[in-house]
Amino acid sequence: MARRKSGPGIDAQPDTGPDFDPEWCERIRGKLVEWYETAHRDLPWRASRDPYRILVSETMLVQTTVTAVVPFFERFITRFPTIRDLANADEADVLKAWEGLGYYRRARQLHAAGQAIVRDHGGVIPDDPDALRALPGVGRYIAGAILSFAFNIPAPILEANTQRVMARWLAWPDDIKSTRSQARLWEAATRVVPTRDPATFNQAFMELGALVCIPRNPMCLTCPVATECRARELGLQDRLPVATPKAAPLEMSEAAIVVVENGRVLMLRRKPGVLWEGFWEFPTVHRDGPDPARRLIDGCVSTEATLEATMGLSLQVGPVVSSLNYVVTKHKVRMDVHFAIKDSGDLKPGPGHVEARWVDRDEFEQLTRSSATRRAVAALLKAGVLTSEGEWGVLAPRKSR
List pLDDT tens digits, range 117-146: 999 999 999 999 999 999 999 999 999 999
Report the range of poorest mean pLDDT among 25-39, 140-154, 187-201, 308-322.
Answer: 308-322
CATH topology of domain 250-383: Nucleoside Triphosphate Pyrophosphohydrolase (3.90.79)
DSSP one-letter code for 294: -
| Under 8 Å between Cβ of 225 and 28 | yes
Q: Would you state the pLDDT for residue 298?
A: 47
Q: Indicate the average pLDDT of the chain.
A: 89
CB of 41 within 8 A of CB of 66? yes
Catalytic status, residue 91: no
- CATH fold of 4-234 reads Endonuclease III; domain 1 (1.10.340)
Q: What pLDDT, on the 0 to 100 scale, is given for residue 370?
A: 86
Q: What number is the average pLDDT over the span 341-367? A: 87
More confident residue, 392 or 83: 83
Contact (Cβ atoms closer than 8 angstroms) between residue 328 and residue 372: yes
Q: Give Cβ neighbours of residue 47 (< 8 Å, ≥ 6 apart).
A: 53
Position 392 scores a pLDDT of: 37
Alpha carbons 317 and 343: distance in angstroms, whole number: 10
- pLDDT-based confidence at 330, cuts 50/70/90? confident
Residue 400's pLDDT is 42
Q: Which entry of 58, 99, 159, 228 is annotated as an active-site residue?
A: 58
Q: Where in the chain is the domain with CATH 3.90.79.10?
A: 250-383
d(CA 191, CA 22): 9
What global pTM score does this model have?
0.86
- In the predicted model, is pLDDT for residue 247 greater than 50? yes
Write out the residue limits of the CATH 1.10.340.30 domain(s) in the chain: 4-234
Coil, helix or strand at residue 284 = strand
Q: Report the greatest alpha carbon distance in the chain.
A: 81
Which residues, 6+ apart, have CB-to-CB distance to 61 below 8 Å? Answer: 69, 159
pLDDT at residue 15, rounded to an integer = 66
